[in-house]
Structure 1
Amino acid sequence: MRYPTVVSALGLAGAVSAHAVPPPVAAAAASVDCTGVNAISPKCRSSEALYSRDVFYVGGRSVASGFGNILADQVYVEKLTPSCGVKQLHPLVFFHGGANSAVTWLNTPDNRKGFASYFLEKGYMVYLVDQIATGRSAQQDTTDFALANSTTIEIVQGGFSAPELAATYPQAILHTQWPGSGQAGDPIFEAFAHATVPYTTSLVAGENAMRASICKLLSLVGASYLVSHSSGAQYPILVSNDCPELVAGNINLEHSTQPFWNYGTALGSGSAARAWGLANTHLDYEPPVSDPSELQVEVVGEDTLALRNCHLQAEPARRLPKIASVPYLCTTGEASVHMTYDHCVIEFLKQAGGNPDWIKLADVGIHGNGHFGHLEKNNMDIAAVVEGWIKKQDANKAARV
């Protein structure tokens, strides 16, 4: 289902080229503070790529209410068409992480080009999704969805923008790529922190809504590469299970789908999560599983703050043939807490019959990144790594034809 509302306009973040800026504005920009939110001034130039923009709502269901039937579960999608023309075979669909929205893929908090601009300039069709009950995908069925307060300022600073200041894991001291101090009061930090939004704690309802709506989206746009950050990685996993023929590849910037467990900051802390392994809802295992209690779990490895142990399937492990059929990539920043446990997702996927790729950014010469590498100073280098992997997948597919 699609809402009848369609908006078509030049991309709001990049509608004016440098040559089109009137001379008085261009001259004034040199003396104007365009740091952080100050760049909202008409005197500040945008660094975003040129594109045209259409807006849609995809998926959804009818829910009876005391006032009649309402529509729920529809997902907000922005379609960005590059002004240079579409030159690539497969679109890219982007999924943000928790307490964020799709704006995370547009300009960075210090107003540099974001991931969307990088790929638009390469000729990719780009789709940006606000996850269910987040941002502009507001949820009307409040009986199924509960919202949590957004991430705290302390968590933003300690976990994302400046983990090196109070390192809870050894790799944190390597963090160098955040633009600005990463602390409250810094204008770049403030721009980032103000972009956090409430998110749903109704994990099962959220997954069920997203897996239906995103397969509907892909049926409309065709086989696509799914690019996710952090907890947004759970949705490409579900879509790879439900409609794998529509997923050209599953690309995860620091996947937060650690099997069966959420890690605490101290050894011995944490909590059970994702009873189906990589998700809170049903996955198609072989041999089949009707209830997640049928999955046998064991803890593997010594647990240290530098390298956490993993909660994996006990051998012989059940397979996930649909998910395993989709090419898979994870990238991990050198200074991110994900360096301590991203390997657990990789090992789980191997158990399940997959052949996942894991690129530790430091191994390819990209250093100093935390959890939000796609917003950090070297974000274009990370985007180039992602594009290189896409090109490799496309070449492999062409060779098999």
Structure 2
Amino acid sequence: MMRLAIVSAVSVLISTTLANAAEPIALRDMGSFHVGGRLVEISGKPVKEVTFTPGGVPAKVDPNGTYQVEQMYVQYFLPANEKGAYPLLMWHGGGLTGVTYETTPDGREGWLNYFLRKGWAVYNSDAVERGRAGWAQYPDVFKSEPVFLTTANPFERFRIGDGAGSYDPDPAKRKLMPGSQFPNEGYENFVKQNVPRWTTTDDAIIAAYIAEIDRVGPSIILFHSQAGSFGFKVAQARPDKVKALIAIEPAGLGDPAKVDALKGIPTLIVYGDYIEKDSRWPKIRANGIAFADAVKAAGGSVDVVDLPQAGIKGNSHMVMMDKNNAEVAALIQKWLEGKGLTK
């Protein structure tokens, strides 16, 4: 377990970050691409007549034919003064998109900007089925119906509120976790980021992430929640191309039979606060610790940080959006530097 030593320089890093926050971000390039996916044939559907715009002329649309599906969207930002030894890939959690890292619900800078300012080339993605990646037909391609969340669900499930019944439409009446760092005043903006998710697309998501690694080359992966299984499994599939793993509250894990593949990849796992107060997270964390122990038993290096034990308190499941997100980012930056992953 990592101790307070890793946080020794965090206050200095925070001060530097705040001082630099007003400075423009200098890029040598930025852009985007889609990667992965496959072609699928759909047949046996009736031809439809569709009016695309009010008052327009109807057009016949034949839904039978070849479709491009299961691609992923990636946007990249390359700093003018690159200091990271490898690109940093950011992978979001379930029912979310790359917006997770772009900004916070109350308008502060997100981790994308933080790590850009530290000189990392950042690749931020919308995974298969999310945002600008698009989605495919059900049940012809996606084999399950999409899952949608109510406004209250993330508040009560992501350890923002104090359990079931803690949400209220009135921000002043919400029952937050004591000392919560989540920006309650921006919660509505967070809910607006939520998108539908499916439960049968994991293989397609992993395939697209592997395609991203193959295109970008040797990289560091920072991933959150549902992407826990994606990050670890992609690293197991491409251990030569993954140079470090940063798992933020991973809800899923890799293949226990393939932990040997991870022994050469330094790994950091970060957990927030209030885990013992939740009905699900003690088991999720225990599974994560068991997986970390298996990697270490195979000869790997895994550092686990429970933020409250490191003196960083009040974090929800959405660590990168909390009011102390820069403090947690500084801890990650210090870990990366300690692993010799900066220039």
- TM-score > 0.5, shorter chain as reference: yes
1:74 partnered with 2:68: no
CA distance in 2, matches of 1:241, 1:165: 35
What SS is found at the alignment partner of 2:329? Answer: helix
Distance change >3 Å, CA 383–CA 48, structure 1 → 2 = farther
CA distance in 1, matches of 2:322, 2:40: 42
TM-score by length of 2: 0.75
In 2, are the aligned partners of 1:162 and 1:175 still within 8 Å (CA)? no
Distance change >3 Å, CA 201–CA 166, structure 1 → 2 = closer
Q: Which runs of 5+ in 1 are unaligned?
A: 1-45, 258-277, 286-318
> Which residue in the other structure is 1:392 paired with?
338
Greater RCO between the two (CA within 8 Å, min separation 6)? 2
CA distance in 2, matches of 1:123, 1:351: 33
CA distance in 2, matches of 1:196, 1:120: 25
> Which residue in the other structure is 1:239 paired with?
234
In 1, are the aligned partners of 2:159 and 2:274 still within 8 Å (CA)? no
CA distance in 2, matches of 1:110, 1:215: 33
CA distance in 2, matches of 1:96, 1:343: 22
Q: Which amino acid aligns with 1:148?
A: P
Q: Which runs of 5+ in 2 are unaligned?
A: 1-21, 44-63, 167-175
In 1, are the aligned partners of 2:160 and 2:317 still within 8 Å (CA)? no
Distance change >3 Å, CA 221–CA 246, structure 1 → 2 = same
Please give the residue correspondences for 1:151-162 in structure 2 after superposition, counting only pairs within 5 Å: 151-160=149-158, 162=160
Residue correspondences, number: 284
In 1, are the aligned partners of 2:157 and 2:163 still within 8 Å (CA)? no
**How far did residue 68 of structure 1 move?**
3.4
**How far did residue 212 of structure 1 move?**
2.1
CA distance in 2, matches of 1:233, 1:48: 33
CA distance in 1, matches of 2:293, 2:315: 26
> Which residue in the other structure is 2:205 paired with?
210
CA distance in 1, matches of 2:32, 2:95: 22
Distance change >3 Å, CA 192–CA 173, structure 1 → 2 = closer
CA distance in 2, matches of 1:159, 1:140: 28
> Which residue in the other structure is 2:244 paired with?
249
CA distance in 1, matches of 2:248, 2:178: 18
> Which residue in the other structure is 2:57 paired with?
none
CA deviations on 1:124-162 (whole Å, 9 max, x unpaired) are 110111111111112335423134232221212222363
Equivalent of residue 85 in structure 1, options 69, 81, 87: 81
Matched-pair identity in %: 27
CA distance in 2, matches of 1:251, 1:225: 8
Equivalent of residue 322 in structure 2, options 332, 354, 376: 376
Distance change >3 Å, CA 117–CA 48, structure 1 → 2 = farther
> Which residue in the other structure is 2:98 paired with?
102
CA distance in 2, matches of 1:70, 1:241: 30
What SS is found at the alignment partner of 1:148? Answer: coil
Please give the residue correspondences for 1:42-53 in structure 2 after superposition, counting only pairs within 5 Å: 49=25, 51=27, 52-53=29-30
> Which residue in the other structure is 1:345 paired with?
288
**How far did residue 122 of structure 1 move?**
0.8
1:196 partnered with 2:194: yes
TM-score by length of 1: 0.65
In 2, are the aligned partners of 1:77 and 1:129 still within 8 Å (CA)? yes
CA distance in 1, matches of 2:24, 2:128: 26
Distance change >3 Å, CA 253–CA 47, structure 1 → 2 = farther
**How far did residue 326 of structure 1 move?**
2.2
CA RMSD of aligned residues (A): 2.8
